[in-house]
Amino acid sequence: MIYAITYDLKTPGQDYSALYATIHNLGETLHPLQNLWLLNTGSGLNSVRDQLRTVIDQNDFVFVAQLYKSSYSAWMPVTAHEWLEARL
């Protein structure tokens, strides 16, 4: 399954390396935009969300959505489109 992960991190300068490591550990990833990750994983939607929630602050937010072939429209680097097309 391919997920789009985006977040709103409220504390400027906060060390979010645990968030990034958790995303990487969930599966194959691409980080095409500042606050957007693409994730290829066998984990379920709520499981991904719950794991990310454990490594962000209480005032932060995270959004996870499953992507399907032709279910998105974007203006991103070509490599991001190629990554998605190869996996969707």
| Residue ranges of domains in the chain, CATH in brackets | 2-87 (3.30.70.240)
pTM over 0.75: yes
pLDDT at site 36: 95
pLDDT tens-digit map of 67-76: 998 888 899 9
Each residue of 63-80: b (16+ CB within 10 Å) or e?
ebeebeeeeeeeeeeeeb
Question: What whole-number distance in Å separates Cα of residue 65 and Cα of residue 83?
Answer: 17
Question: What does each of the 88 residues of the chain score in pLDDT, given as a tens digit?
Answer: 999 999 988 887 778 899 999 999 999 999 999 889 999 999 999 999 999 999 999 999 999 999 998 888 899 999 999 999 999 9
Tokens of 53: 């929630």
pLDDT at site 30: 97
